[in-house]
Amino acid sequence: MRYGRHGGSRLRAIRDGSIAILRDEIREAILEAYVAIGAANLVVDAASRHPMNSTPWAAGVNDAQRRIAEAQPKIERAREELLKFLAAEPPAA
């Protein structure tokens, strides 16, 4: 799966950077959300290259709406996992 022009390098940076120190379930939730958002963005970009109201444009818009809807629970899960993690952390001294 493609992640856009720089998405692959961003995904590696996220995977290998500060997110790498998080618990597995948080990291996996964030990466799933990131991939779902990237897939939706690619479809939106592809649809925008077609004339508005053309068949390929309409198909792309429909696909984008579906992918956005599919991404929503993944985004919510990532947010919930991260908020739980942050609430459990002791305050910095």
pLDDT of residue 7: 57
Q: Residue 2: inside a domain, yes or no? A: no
| Distance in Å from the first CA to the final CA of the chain | 43
Q: Does any domain span residue 28?
A: yes
**How confident is the model at residue 91, as a pLDDT?**
65
Position 19 scores a pLDDT of 78
Q: Write the CB contacts of 22 (distance below 8 Å, at least 6 apart in sequence).
A: 30, 85
Asked if the structure places residue 93 within a domain, the reply is no
pLDDT tens, residue by residue, 71-85: 999 999 999 999 998
Q: For residue 1, is it within any domain? A: no
* Average pLDDT per consecutive 10 residues, the chain (93 residues; last block may be shorter): 54 70 88 93 95 95 96 96 84 63
Tell me the residue range of the domain where 69 lies.
7-88
64 in a domain, yes or no?
yes
Total tally of structural domains belonging to the chain:
1
For residue 66, being part of any structural domain is answered with: yes
